[in-house]
Structure 1
Amino acid sequence: MFFSSLVSPQWLREHLDDPDLVIADCRFDLADPEAGRRVYEAGHIPGAVYLDLERDLSGPVQEHGGRHPLPDEETLAETMGRAGIDERKKVVAYDDQGEAMAARLWWLLRYMGHDRVAILDGGFSGWVHHGYPVSQEGVTPKLTRFVPRVQSEMKVDMDEVKRHSGLLVDAREPDRYQGIREPIDQKAGHIPGAVNRFWKENLAEGQHWKSPAELKKEWDFLREEEQPILYCGSGVTACANLFALHLAGVKGGRLYPGSWSDWISYPENPIETGERSAAALRPK
């Protein structure tokens, strides 16, 4: 069956019963970590498994590594296997938070060497909007073995961020990036030299992704062979920016998984405030 990185509700409805397809519900609320599981149980796309951002798609929080550190590869492989995902399966991820949580799974699977993964355009609300079926039935995936082929070049650590002479792109809301307010982390501001590209700028109305042409134009502040480092508060919404680059056909973006919450866990790291929009870097 045809498979791309972004699929429509119509496409998913037509392929709902395909045996080689795994649907992953990634809904999650940072302010209420149990809300995702509750809304999943209240109604989900038929056959979808639930993957929790903090229990399944993140590792244990420690002194360093940020609020949502990457799980170790062995643990993540076991999680994917329990979800019924192996090298033969295609995966469609969705959430209802603008696809940021789904983008986290999209990035993690690609990092683990599994690129047959897509995001549902419009998320769960888009599915419901079309009047497609919703289920409350529990799902027990068939246990399988996920064999990782880790793509280590897709991520960087804090030391590499310090050495990086290219562009850093911060995915957070402009007022958090600028240091005007910080409702989550202990310090406000951004990594020195970073520009701001709020991840929701990649979306059109209704949680739909902008077209590849639109995204390519909006990301044209990146120079060829730039290999920018992308980050956010904890390595989640930066994945939405990486997905936007993927849709636009722009290669080379790398994730700083610990992101701002890791950066500020080192007291000696410098902090910058104020505005430096990515739009200002666009060619005139």
Structure 2
Amino acid sequence: MEMIVSKQWLLARIYEPDLVIVDCRFDLADKEAGVAAYRESHIPGAVYLDLERDLSAPVSEHGGRHPLPDPQELADKLSKAGISNQSRVVAYDDQGGMYAARLWWLLGWLGHQDAAVLDEGFSAWASGGYPVTAETRIVVPGAFVPNIQQDRVADVNHIRQSLGNDRVLLVDSRALSRYKGEEEHLDAKAGHIPGAINRFWKDVLDDRGAWKAEPALREQFAPVIKALDDGRETIVYCGSGVSACPNVLALHRLGYTQVKLYTGSWSDWISYPENPVSTGEE
């Protein structure tokens, strides 16, 4: 299964028994909006997983705004959602794939590779005349056993040790204005991790909100690809470990599966007062 699937692909397979469709809609400004939207209308057969209740651990002093969930607790929630190690999973949202990509990344972290994100998301599905429903199906629990891929993860100590190391490339996935420290509406400090370059995650999408084709992604990520081809370790981060996931997915699509995610990201980095902060462009 491709990592990005079309509406037509999903429609043709929507009732296949090993396919689990997951609604990941969420709104940081209204944290009940995603589940409310799901209850009102969703793709037939879809189950709902919430960014903060299901796909993150509770917030604490460190770990960022969306800490990495406990792997066994996440595996139990996946099982209750009907996902087993043999399932094919298609996730969707209405925010350009950001939250769906979070589930895609978490599944990969737990050793499950057969997962994808629905191109263009729910609104495009509904406005395109594809089927929607308010009915929820009876979920038969799966049996999901995690096989943690620790090489996909970077923590704050890893980042500290990487500062000034020209064999490591940090990629900041936030909007350029936040990266440069010109504005910051979510976290207590503005700026970026020293040495990081900026690649805004929304630039993986075209003007219609669809994922760009591979040649366009290669052009966009040219300096990152060069670093990877040169054998440099590459670590992607964002504000809280969520919006970096589309960039990680894009690089996986291009064959660079060795990319790491700094799961706590900027909100974890600045929770340590001694960590340095840079502004402007690099």
Do both proteins adopt the same fold according to a TM-score greater than 0.5, normalized to the shorter chain? yes
| 1:192-203 correspondence to structure 2 within 5 Å | 192-203=194-205
- Is the CA contact (8 Å cut-off) linking 1:263 and 1:269 kept in structure 2? yes
* Counterpart amino acid of residue 213 in structure 1: P
Shift of 1:5: 1.1
- Is the CA contact (8 Å cut-off) linking 1:226 and 1:252 kept in structure 2? no
Q: CA–CA distance in 1 between the matches of 2:124 and 2:208?
A: 7
| 1:42-53 correspondence to structure 2 within 5 Å | 42-53=40-51
- Is the CA contact (8 Å cut-off) linking 1:111 and 1:150 kept in structure 2? yes
Runs of 5+ consecutive residues of structure 1 not aligned to the other structure: 277-284
Match of 1:250 among 247, 252, 256: 256
Which residue of 1 is the match for residue 83 of structure 2?
Answer: 85
Moved over 4 A (4+): none
Match of 1:177 among 176, 179, 197: 179
* Counterpart amino acid of residue 196 in structure 2: A
Match of 1:234 among 237, 240, 258: 240
Match of 1:145 among 143, 146, 157: 143
| 1:11-50 correspondence to structure 2 within 5 Å | 11-50=9-48
Shift of 1:217: 2.2
RMSD of aligned Cα (Å): 0.9
Match of 2:220 among 201, 204, 218: 218
Which residue of 1 is the match for residue 55 of structure 2?
Answer: 57
Shift of 1:246: 1.3
Which residue of 2 is the match for residue 188 of structure 1?
Answer: 190
Question: How many equivalent pairs are there?
Answer: 274
Q: CA–CA distance in 2 between the matches of 1:241 and 1:172?
A: 10
243-252 or 178-187: bigger deviation: 243-252
Which residue of 1 is the match for residue 269 of structure 2?
Answer: 263
* Counterpart amino acid of residue 118 in structure 1: A
- Alpha-carbon distance change, 237 to 106 in structure 1, aligned in 2, over 3 angstroms: same
Which residue of 2 is the match for residue 108 of structure 1?
Answer: 106
Shift of 1:87: 1.2
Shift of 1:139: 2.9
Which residue of 2 is the match for residue 209 of structure 1?
Answer: 211
| SS at structure 1 position matched to 2:171 | strand
Q: CA–CA distance in 2 between the matches of 1:140 and 1:170?
A: 41
Shift of 1:66: 0.3
Identity %: 54
Runs of 5+ consecutive residues of structure 2 not aligned to the other structure: none
Shift of 1:206: 2.4
Q: CA–CA distance in 2 between the matches of 1:251 and 1:55?
A: 28
Q: CA–CA distance in 1 between the matches of 2:172 and 2:190?
A: 13
* Counterpart amino acid of residue 85 in structure 1: I
Task: Report the TM-score, using the length of structure 2 for normalisation.
Answer: 0.95
Q: Deviations over 1:242-277 (max 9, x none)?
A: 01111222232100000000000001111101123x
